[in-house]
Amino acid sequence: MTWKPSTITQPSVRTSYPLPATLPPRIAAIPEKRLAVALALSDAGVLAAAFVLPRIFRLPNPAWLLAPEVIGLAFFLCIVSHALAGLYAPRRAAEGTAQALRLTRAWMMLAAFGLVGSFINRHGGGAVLGIALNGWLLSILVRPGILRPWLKRVLGVRLRGVRVIVGTGPLARRLAFASERMWSPVLAGFVDDPGPYAQRLDSEALPGPYLGGIEAIGQLAEEGRITQVLVAREDLSRGRLVELAHQWLALNLQVSLVSSAFEVMVARASASMLGGLPLANLQPSPQRGWKLKSKRCFDIALASLGGIILLPLLALVAVAIKVTSPGAILYKQNRVGRNGREFTLYKFRSMVANNDDGAHRKYMEAMIRGGEPAGFEQGGQKVYKLVNDPRVTPIGRLLRATSLDEFPQLLNVIRGDMSLVGPRPCLAYEWELYEEWQRSRLDVLPGITGLWQVSGRSRVPFEEMVLLDLHYIANWSLSLDLALLLRTVPVVLSGSGGH
């Protein structure tokens, strides 16, 4: 689905703050391609040093590890692993601890490839781990230790970015002071529209210039005067926040949201904080180009391997369904996937055949449109899913609690209708009930598991589920997919949240 933001018009208001006589200066663009090449060369140099260090100290290396084709492959995988970890984006080069964590993931990925090679050659695992450890330590020294301060000195404001804060209330003022840490984005000023916060402009001086209404952001971005937007308005609805965020992303701005509407989502999904408050950082989905192709290869490889390993278990499940209730083993259902395209989803049948879905339709319509019809588990735990559904068979309850009913969707993954990780596909009548901003959760391939499933599953309200999906789309990486798959295992084994 292509996002089509609505035209926003703002009423004119009088304020005691006149527009500033001088706007923030124009910002020269960062030479992203040249910076990426320079960072890649530094990573290649670190890997070369990691290979050389053992020889300096006369430590033995197996002959296969020093073969030209192996060394060439190692350099290629080094660049790929760092790219997958997002280490060639300019803003990543400005990070400290966060960049170190990304370097750790990249070198762990590279070490895993090396250990596969040592397993094939039946020796050399210790040498591979030694090289990986050397490379990791050197990369921490070079990247955050040497290159980061040098890049900030050379690129200055361009690397730090220039931020405008949306809002003029206490929260916005608090974040303005929180932004004054060393190497934090430069504060250009504040924008705000009529509302309870804007009315306080007379009561207390802002710690920065007032730049006008929210619509001023478009002009500032087009003139190259700002690079980031920080939303600090707690009275904006979730739909309005997401709508505005999409418009700003289309202007190549970085968007961060600090709002009570996003607090639960970010606390679960992100460790990013500012001024002691959780921060949701949004950006256009990285799932495009070669990254999208790498995700597809990742899906096919794991889905095929998983299907082979789980084949005996799936056969037992099929027999149990056939023996315990009449009807087909597989349940086929039309679902809405990426960009609103319908496809046939496969599941193990967990309900009686030829059932009536009227109760489910009524429940979902009430929940999506803002109601909160929740069943209650023992102990009073709210569940945002139809509980004690009489259509579910006894074996179906077990399959749903353990998520075994979802495993035939590995076929959907191999066919390209779904991914292993992503937002859950919806039914056609649910899609029709979605607001426009909610439909953006399916701008990517739907998945078998995802951030929603490991963050509470049936105990997460609908709008929060959508926000979790949007957060996943904006912050996707292969390492995030792998982490979510690993987090799914204990959720499945414990049966938590399934109904």
Mean pLDDT computed over every residue of the chain: 80
> pLDDT above 90 covers what percent of the chain?
28
Residue 436 banded pLDDT, cuts 50, 70, 90 = confident
Question: How many C-beta neighbours within 10 Å does residue 68 have?
Answer: 7
Rounded to whole angstroms, the Cα distance separating 78 from 92 reads 17
What is the pLDDT at residue 267?
Answer: 42
Q: Give the residue with greater pLDDT, 75 vs 211.
A: 75
* Cα dist from 114 to 48, 215, 321, whole Å: 15, 52, 43
Question: How many C-beta neighbours within 10 Å does residue 209 have?
Answer: 19
What is the pLDDT at residue 256?
Answer: 83
Q: Provide the b/e sequence for 258-274 (b: ≥16 CB within 10 Å).
A: bbebbebbbebbeeeeb
Three-state SS string over the chain comes to: CCCCCCCCCCCCCCCCCCCCCCCCCCCCCCCHHHHHHHHHHHHHHHHHHHHHHHHHCCCCCCHHHHCHHHHHHHHHHHHHHHHHCCCCCHHHHCCCHHHHHHHHHHHHHHHHHHHHHHHHHCCCHHHHHHHHHHHHHHHHHHHHHHHHHHHHHHHCHHHHCEEEEECCCHHHHHHHHHCCCCCCCEEEEEECCCCCCHHHHHCCCCCCCECCCCCHHHHHHHCCCCCEEEECCCCCCHHHHHHHHHHHHHCCCEEEECCHHHHHHHHHHCCCEECCEECEEECCCCCCHHHHHHHHHHHHHHHHHHHHHHHHHHHHHHHHHHHHCCCCCEEEEEEECHHHCEEEEEEECCECCCCCCHHHHHHHHHHHCCCCCCEECCCCCEECCCCCCCCECHHHHHHHHHCHHHCCHHHHHHHCCCEEECCCCECHHHHHHCCHHHHHHHCCCCEEECHHHHCCHHHCCHHHHHHHHHHHHHCCCHHHHHHHHHHHHHHHHHCCCCC
Rounded to whole angstroms, the Cα distance separating 301 from 295 reads 10
Mean predicted confidence (pLDDT) in 353-361: 70
Instruction: To the nearest 10°, report the CA torsion of 403, 408, 414, 418.
Output: -50
Of 122-126, 176-180, 188-192, the one with minimum mean pLDDT is: 176-180
Residue-wise pLDDT for 255-284, tens only, equals 888 755 455 444 444 446 666 676 777 766
Architecture in CATH for domain 161-282 = 3-Layer(aba) Sandwich (3.40)
Question: How many C-beta neighbours within 10 Å does residue 215 have?
Answer: 12
Residue-wise pLDDT for 471-496, tens only, equals 888 878 888 898 899 888 887 776 65
In the predicted model, is pLDDT for residue 413 greater than 90?
Answer: yes
Q: Which two tokens stand for residue 300?
A: 């096919």
**Residue 7 C-beta-side C-alpha neighbours within 13 Å:** 1
Per the listing, tokens 């990986």 go with: 132
What is the pLDDT at residue 90?
Answer: 80
Tell me whether residue 152 is exposed, middle or buried, using C-beta atoms within 10 angstroms of its C-beta: 0 to 12, 13 to 18, 19 or more.
middle
* Closest of 420, 308, 237 to residue 245, by C-alpha: 237
In the predicted model, is pLDDT for residue 213 greater than 80?
Answer: yes
Contacts of 333 (CB under 8 A, 6+ apart): 344, 345, 347, 427
Residue-wise pLDDT for 37-69, tens only, equals 999 999 999 999 999 988 887 777 788 888 899
The values of phi and psi at residue 189, to 5°, are 155, -160
Q: Give the residue with greater pLDDT, 123 vs 459.
A: 123
In the predicted model, is pLDDT for residue 441 greater than 60?
Answer: yes
What is the pLDDT at residue 498?
Answer: 53
Q: How many residues does the chain have?
A: 499
What is the pLDDT at residue 425?
Answer: 94
Rounded to whole angstroms, the Cα distance separating 197 from 193 reads 9
What is the pLDDT at residue 422?
Answer: 94
pTM beyond 0.75, yes or no: no
Q: Give the residue with greater pLDDT, 362 vs 337.
A: 337
In the predicted model, is pLDDT for residue 88 greater than 60?
Answer: yes
Question: How many C-beta neighbours within 10 Å does residue 277 have?
Answer: 18
The values of phi and psi at residue 392, to 5°, are -80, 130
What is the pLDDT at residue 179?
Answer: 63
Q: Give the residue with greater pLDDT, 21 vs 320.
A: 320
Mean predicted confidence (pLDDT) in 214-220: 88
For residues 65 and 275, the answer to whether their CB atoms sit within 8 Å is no
> What residues does each domain of the chain span?
32-155, 161-282, 289-494
Residue 376 banded pLDDT, cuts 50, 70, 90 = very low
What is the pLDDT at residue 264?
Answer: 43
Of 121-130, 225-234, 265-274, 364-373, the one with minimum mean pLDDT is: 265-274
